[in-house]
Amino acid sequence: MKQIIECVPNFSEGRDKEKMEKILDSFRGKDGVKLLDYSNDINHNRMVVTVVGEYGPLKDAVLESVGKAVELIDLNHHEGQHPRMGAVDVIPFIPIRNVSMEECVALSKEVGEEIARKYDVPVFLYEKSASAPHRENLAAVRKGEFEGMAEKIKEPEWKPDFGKAERHATAGTVAVGARMPLVAYNINLNTNRLDIATSISKKIRHINGGFRFVKAMGVDLADRGIVQVSINMTDFTRTSLYRVFETVKFEAQRWGVTIAGSEIVGLVPLAAIVDTAEYYLGLEDFSIDQVLESKL
C-alpha cells in the first residue's frame, strides 16, 4: 500500500504572488508528491500549503521550498497580524496512511538537520518530535517571534536542536515536527445563549476535565441567531467525532436545547469519516481499504 504523509508548511509571505508561486513550484510536477491546497492571507502576510507525499520525495520537495523561502523572504521587512519567527515559520509532518508517527518524527528530524546544514537556519523540533516537554507547544517555542529570537536563542533552554544558537539574519528560525491530523469540528446549538455553548465547551474539553484530545470554546453566530461549540479535535483516532457529538447532544438536553447541525472545516482524513459510519451503522469488520477511493 502506498504511504501517505501530509505536510502543512507555513511561509511568511502572503502578498507577493510571484514569490508565492516560486515557493509553490517546489511541490509541483514531482513524482511521489502532490500539492493539495494552499491559501494566503494578506492581513496575516502568510501562506499555508497542504501537500501529501511519500517519505523521500516529500522530504526533497519540502527542503527545496525552504531554500526558496530563505532566498526570497526577509523577516526584517515582514509585517502581518500572525505571529512568526521565520521565513518558513513551521513545518508539521502528519501521518495519514500506512505510515507511523515514529516515521514522521524521523522525517522531521532529517528535514530539520538538512535545513540547518544547507541553509544555516536554526531548527526547533516541536510537538511529537520535541527534545523536551517545554518545546512541544508551538506557541511557547515561537514566543518573542523573529525580533525576540535574536536573544532567546542564546538561552540554554532555547538552544536549537539543529544549527548554531544564532538567528539567521533574514530567515530567522523554524519549528519542524510531527503531529496528529487536526480536525476543526463545530457543533451548532438551537439557542442564542452563549453561556450554554461556553458551559458545554468546558465539559468536553481536556483542560477542564473533558476528553483528552479536545480543545473547545463557545462562539456566538450572531447572523444566524444561534451559538456554536467550536472544537479542535487534536487526535480523532483516540477521541472520536461521534463521541464528542453525542456528548454535546446529551449535555445540551440539560437545558432543553437541541443540535442544529455540525460542520467540518477544511480537510478531514477519510479515517475520521469511516469511524463515524462504523459507529452509527454498527459495522462489523470494516476496513478503510474497502472504500474505493482509498485504493486510488
Could you tell me if 227 and 220 are in contact, meaning their C-beta atoms sit under 8 angstroms apart?
Answer: yes
Per DSSP, which regions of 122-190 are E strands?
123-127, 174-178, 183-189
Residue 261 near a copy of itself by CB under 8 A: yes
Query: Cell triple for residue 208?
Result: 477542564
**Distance in Å, CB of 259 to a copy of itself, minimum:** 6
Residue 56 near a copy of itself by CB under 8 A? no
Residue nearer to a copy of itself on the CB measure, 43 or 290: 290
Q: How far is the CB of 39 from a copy of itself (least distance, A)?
A: 14
Which is closer to a copy of itself, CB of 225 or CB of 286?
A: 286
Q: Which of 77, 82, 134, 168 is catalytic?
A: 82
Segment lying near a copy of itself (by CB under 8 A), choices 104-112, 141-149, 150-158, 286-294: 286-294
Query: Would you count residue 222 as binding a copy of itself (CB under 8 A)?
Result: no
Binding of a copy of itself at residue 31 (CB under 8 A)? no
Picking from 173, 188, 287, 292, the residue whose alpha carbon sits closest to that of residue 230 is 188
Q: How far apart are CA 119 and CA 115, in angstroms?
A: 5
CB-based contacts of 112, cutoff 8 Å, min separation 6: 123, 125, 129, 161, 162, 176
Scanning the structure block, which residue is given the C-alpha cell 473547545? 216
Name the minimum Å distance from CB 268 to a copy of itself: 6
In sequence order, what are the residues at sequence separation of 6 or more whose Cβ sits closer than 8 angstroms to the Cβ of residue 129? 105, 108, 109, 112, 176, 177, 178
Per CB under 8 A, the list member of 30, 82, 97, 203 interacting with a copy of itself is 97
- What's the CA gap between 105 and 126, in Å, rounded? 10
CB of 73 to a copy of itself, least distance (A): 27
Residues that bind a copy of itself (CB under 8 A): 4, 6, 34, 36-37, 52, 96-97, 181, 188, 241-242, 245, 259-264, 266-270, 273-274, 276-277, 280-286, 290-296
